A and B are shown apart, each in its own frame.
Chain A
Amino acid sequence: MITGTPKPIEEILEMIEPYDNIIVAGCFGCVTVCRVGGDKEVQVLSSTLRLAREASGRKIEIKEICLERQCDPEYLEPMRPYVEDYQAVLSIACGAGIQFMAEKFMKTPLLPGINTGFLGVTERQGEWAERCQGCGDCVLHLTGGICPVTRCAKSIFHGPCGGSVNGTCEVAKDIKCGWQLIIDRLKSLDQMENYGKLKPYKGWDASRDGGPRRILREDMI
């Protein structure tokens, strides 16, 4: 899922300062699961903003909504009849959802209520960790199911590097060396020959280096 963290209230209050009525829009997708932008978070954030604004002597009217997904056009369309009745939309979906809404409703300013993080997993309730950087050319079959792009701080392809000490990455003591994890896993799977199958270099052309990416599925159009 796409993860994120709430923006500080101060920062949001500053963003909404010019407005007297706004929509606070959540998303039932990824951000509901990582508890940063779902229905509950819409309610909590809206109450918080109303309280802060009223205490400062300038009330704000807030319409609270939560869409099935903000990254699909059909779920945005139902907002069209009323979106222009409000001066701005504060969205707590991921950056993709927020941008998509901004594209659809050209006359309304869109404000981000969260800081979008990474593609990750729920390691335990309340703890999420990054697993994939969407490099566009997956090599997990060669690396024991552990991503060298993400789990190695340097994204190197034939690690571990000299900074790996007793399974720990030199970047921080609480980060495991991704390459040590890969080697240990390959050994336990008896697949060390895969290490030699990795390309001498990784082509990043399928990654971000070619600018924003697009997937076109002729069979679905």
Chain B
Amino acid sequence: MLPCTGRIDESLLLKAFENGADGVMVIGCLEGDCHYVNGNIRARSRVKRVYSILEQIRIGPDRIRMYNLSAGEGAKFAAFTNEFVSQIENLGPSPINVARKQAARESAQEVQAT
């Protein structure tokens, strides 16, 4: 949890994927409601940049999405989360996780063979 989505930068989002995330949801305050004026607007443009990076490296832009919510919208938060989780489930594990599993399988086979 960060005090403001304005703290988020592209490298933090990419790190989440490096650390094994299949999808990343960024939730900021409603636009126009940022306590720090435009933190959530900046976050939106950084998330957009990460879309394009993920697209270029074929991990897929659909694995990251930004939502805007107020602190009082618990039901909406749950609905958005369910929506995003099912979107990621449909996409399946990220190519990074697929490659990691494959590598783990191969090294296990090697161990068995020896």
B11 and A54 contact, CB distance less than 8 A: no
From B10, B17, B98, B103, A51 is in contact (CB under 8 Å) with: B17
Residues of A33-79 whose CB lies within 8 A of B:
40, 43-44, 47-48, 50-52, 54-57
Residues of B1-15 whose CB lies within 8 A of A:
9-11, 14-15
Contact partners of B18 in chain A: CB under 8 A: 47, 50-51
A51 and B9 contact, CB distance less than 8 A: no
Q: Does A10 contact B (CB under 8 A)?
A: yes
Summed over the interface, the residue pairs from A and B with CB atoms below 8 Å come to a total of 49
Known contacts A51-B17, A51-B59; A40 and B96 CB within 8 A of each other: no
B11 and A55 contact, CB distance less than 8 A: no
Known contacts A9-B53, A44-B53; A54 and B96 CB within 8 A of each other: yes
Closest residue of chain A to B49, judged by CB?
A44
Contact partners of A55 in chain B: CB under 8 A: 57-59, 94-96, 98-99
Q: How many angstroms from the CA of A9 to the CA of B17 in the assembled complex?
A: 17
Residue of B9, B57, B102 contacting most chain A CB atoms (<10 Å): B57
Known contacts A57-B99, A57-B102; A51 and B57 CB within 8 A of each other: yes
Contact partners of B11 in chain A: CB under 8 A: 40, 43-44, 47
Q: How many angstroms from the CA of A54 to the CA of B20 in the assembled complex?
A: 11
B57 and A48 contact, CB distance less than 8 A: yes
The smallest C-beta distance from A76 to any residue of chain B, in angstroms, reads 25
Q: Does B56 contact A (CB under 8 A)?
A: yes
Residues of B72-114 whose CB lies within 8 A of A:
94-96, 98-100, 102-103
B10 and A44 contact, CB distance less than 8 A: yes
Contact partners of B94 in chain A: CB under 8 A: 55
Interface string of A119-143 (1 = CB under 8 A from B): 0000000000000000000000000
The smallest C-beta distance from B110 to any residue of chain A, in angstroms, reads 16
Contact partners of A9 in chain B: CB under 8 A: 53, 56-57
Q: How many angstroms from the CA of A8 to the CA of B57 in the assembled complex?
A: 11
Contact partners of A40 in chain B: CB under 8 A: 9-11
Q: How many angstroms from the CA of A43 to the CA of B53 in the assembled complex?
A: 13
A48 and B99 contact, CB distance less than 8 A: no
Q: How many angstroms from the CA of A146 to the CA of B33 in the assembled complex?
A: 43
Closest residue of chain A to B17, judged by CB?
A51
Q: How many angstroms from the CA of A57 to the CA of B98 in the assembled complex?
A: 9
Q: How many angstroms from the CA of A57 to the CA of B103 in the assembled complex?
A: 8
Residues of A1-29 whose CB lies within 8 A of B:
8-10, 13
From B9, B14, B100, B103, A48 is in contact (CB under 8 Å) with: B14
Contact partners of B100 in chain A: CB under 8 A: 54
Contact partners of A47 in chain B: CB under 8 A: 11, 14-15, 17-18
Q: Report which B residues bind A (CB closer than 8 A).
A: 9-11, 14-15, 17-18, 53, 56-59, 94-96, 98-100, 102-103
Residue contacts A-B, CB under 8 angstroms, 16 given: A8-B56, A9-B53, A44-B10, A47-B17, A47-B18, A48-B14, A48-B57, A51-B18, A52-B58, A52-B59, A54-B96, A55-B59, A55-B95, A56-B99, A57-B102, A57-B103
